[in-house]
């Protein structure tokens, strides 16, 4: 686990330096962050993987895998849907403005990804549990202060999935 954490720190620590000198690194950052989060979102994304992967390898894999599935699919698809189709926005104090359409997409795509993860792990998880975890992912994403959704989404889904299993 410390090797994974060290590699994550080295990679995310070097990217801001590279971006200041390389247009390609800056383009990569903007392609995955939508151009509005800078490096913190990528650093927290990597940190979520660096923390949850060893937890899943050492114990029950479903809770950390559910958190990472919500991060990868729910948050990713929700952002894309919100940017493209978002027409109805809302803002929670302390968080950045979100779209209702993106938030619904986070919930649905997270629930679907979590169901797929459960099936892949041979873990019997009901649809109601997957739906609940999808709603938790959407709430975590909507309530997160700027750039911190890459930490709050997987952490909140992990915590609730752990409590339910």
- The pTM assigned to this predicted structure is 0.80
Kindly state the DSSP code that residue 89 receives in the 8-state scheme.
E
pLDDT at 115 over 90: yes
Predicted confidence (pLDDT) per residue in 19-35, tens digit: 566 666 666 555 555 55
Comparison of pLDDT for 94 and 135, the residue scoring more = 135
Residue with tokens 């029950």, as numbered in its chain? 60
Q: Is the Cα torsion angle 94, 37, 111, 67 positive or negative in sign?
A: negative
**Tens digit of pLDDT for each residue in 64-91?**
999 999 999 999 999 999 999 999 999 9
Report which of residues 60 and 17 the model is more confident about. 60
């Amino acid at each position: 686990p410390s090797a994974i954490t060290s590699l994550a720190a080295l990679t995310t620590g070097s990217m801001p330096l590279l971006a200041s000198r390389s247009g390609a690194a800056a383009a990569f950052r903007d392609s995955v962050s939508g151009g509005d989060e800078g490096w913190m979102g990528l650093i927290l994304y990597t940190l979520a993987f660096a923390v949850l992967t060893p937890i899943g390898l050492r114990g029950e894999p479903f809770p950390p895998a559910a958190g990472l599935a919500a991060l990868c699919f729910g948050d990713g698809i929700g952002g894309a849907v919100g940017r493209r189709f978002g027409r109805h926005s809302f803002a929670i104090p302390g968080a950045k403005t979100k779209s209702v359409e993106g938030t619904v997409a986070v919930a649905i795509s997270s629930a679907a990804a979590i169901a797929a993860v459960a099936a892949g792990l041979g873990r019997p998880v009901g649809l109601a549990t997957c739906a609940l975890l999808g709603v938790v992912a959407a709430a975590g994403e909507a309530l997160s202060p700027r750039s911190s959704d890459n930490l709050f989404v997987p952490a909140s889904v992990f915590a609730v999935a752990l409590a339910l299993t």
